[in-house]
Amino acid sequence: MPSYTKTILCLANSIKHYPLRCIAGREVTQNGIHGWVRPVSPIAGQEGAIPPQSSLMTNGQQIAPLDFVTISFTGHQPHGCQTENHLIDGQPWVKVSVLTRANITPYIQDVPDLWNFGNSTYNGVNDKISPQEFAVFGDSLRLILAADFTYAVNMEGYQAYPQKRKLRGTFTYKGIKYTLKITDPVLCANIAAMEIGKIYAQPNAVLCVSITDIYAPANAHFKLIAAVF
């Protein structure tokens, strides 16, 4: 299959099986802003996660949120309801330009809710969705404005799993409260220095919210905050 290119605005470069990353953005053409694109790797056993060497740009830098970058693909490869997936062909990515945070507004979406609500994990709020519920949706990525966004680190563990520091963000969207795990590498880099239980506020945050692959032991997908702007 011949390769093709897409230029995207990177809106997430989040942690997935460190040091692998989940990268996603919205396609941009001369005609405007289009749908989501999630580059995925063909390497077996990685669940499509991108290794660092595959996300290097021709200038030698790693792709970062708010970079406009042109990527070459070999084909559309949807996985379940992650319909945004496109398979990279291994060619270096080309940085085009950078968007300033002040100009992100046109990329923000207005959606009714975040893939249903009413299903929560022990430590989260409205952060879980069953495969049956998720099957009716055709997307797994959204960019929203969260006027009341806060985040905090707490110790979390479950049954045989040891207690660990976990970073979660809390916000209200369309009248519904959400508390979701954060995988934004910039915020997560500060976990060790954050005071346990202290609430940090970031009003009018723009959040990239993503749905994970199905987690077999729980028979569920989980909602994550992949990036915070």
Query: pLDDT tens across 1-51, in order?
Result: 679 999 999 999 998 877 889 999 999 999 999 999 999 998 856 678 999
Q: What share of the chain is helix, strand, coil (3-state, %, to 5)?
A: 10, 50, 40
Compute the distance between CA of residue 223 and CA of residue 147 in angstroms, rounded to an integer: 19
* Mean pLDDT along residues 194-210: 98
* pLDDT at residue 162, as a whole number: 87
* pLDDT at residue 158, as a whole number: 75
Domain boundaries, the chain: 4-103, 108-228
Query: pLDDT tens across 95-141, in order?
Result: 999 999 999 999 999 999 999 999 999 999 999 999 999 999 989 99
* pLDDT at residue 157, as a whole number: 85
- Using DSSP's 3-state secondary structure scheme, residue 134 falls into helix
Query: pLDDT tens across 170-190, in order?
Result: 999 999 999 999 999 999 999
Phi then psi for 6, rounded to 5 degrees? -135, 140
* pLDDT at residue 17, as a whole number: 79
4-103 sits in which CATH class?
mainly beta
**Average predicted confidence (pLDDT) for the chain:** 94
Q: Which two tokens stand for residue 207?
A: 């959040």
Encoded amino acid at 4, one letter: Y
What's the whole-model pTM score?
Answer: 0.94
Peptide bond connecting 203 to the previous residue in cis, omega within 30 degrees of 0 = no
